[in-house]
């Protein structure tokens, strides 16, 4: 993942550790808790929320997912013949068909 993340700025305050921030992001997204409800053992949420949004804006998450899928496929841990996406159970927005 590290090569996919933006490089830290050359000037200014050093940014929070990427691994720690990633752990916070994953915890909040998986648990469904609010940013202000996460355990204090993860530290302050002030770095994680903006970084989540910035990485989303720059397409970092798509790159990470793409790399993970390619890696799993190459190593035989995922069988593309057994993957199914069924959108028929997802309602359309605003009454679209």
- Closest to 16 measured CA to CA, from 72, 64, 54: 54
Q: Which domain holds residue 44?
A: 15-78
Share of the chain above pLDDT 90, in %: 11
Distance, CA of 81 to CA of 50 (rounded, Å): 37
- State the total domains in the chain: 1
Q: Is residue 37 part of a domain?
A: yes
pLDDT tens digits, residue range 36-57? 888 888 777 788 889 999 999 9
**Tokens (6 digits) for 72:** 């799993």
- pLDDT mean across residues, the chain: 82
Q: Is residue 46 part of a domain?
A: yes
Q: Is residue 54 part of a domain?
A: yes
Q: Is residue 4 part of a domain?
A: no
Q: Is residue 72 part of a domain?
A: yes
- Does the global pTM surpass 0.75? no
pLDDT tens digits, residue range 71-89? 888 888 877 676 666 656 5
State the pLDDT at residue 58: 92
Q: Is residue 90 part of a domain?
A: no
């Amino acid at each position: 993942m590290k090569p996919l993340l933006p490089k830290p700025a050359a000037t200014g305050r050093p940014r929070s550790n990427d691994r720690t921030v990633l752990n916070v992001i994953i915890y909040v997204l998986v648990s469904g808790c609010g940013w202000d409800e996460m355990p204090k053992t993860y530290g302050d949420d002030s770095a994680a929320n903006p970084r989540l949004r910035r990485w989303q804006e720059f397409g970092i998450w798509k790159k990470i997912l793409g790399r993970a899928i390619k890696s799993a496929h190459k190593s035989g841990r995922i069988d593309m013949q057994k993957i199914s996406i069924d959108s028929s159970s997802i309602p359309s927005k605003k009454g679209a068909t």
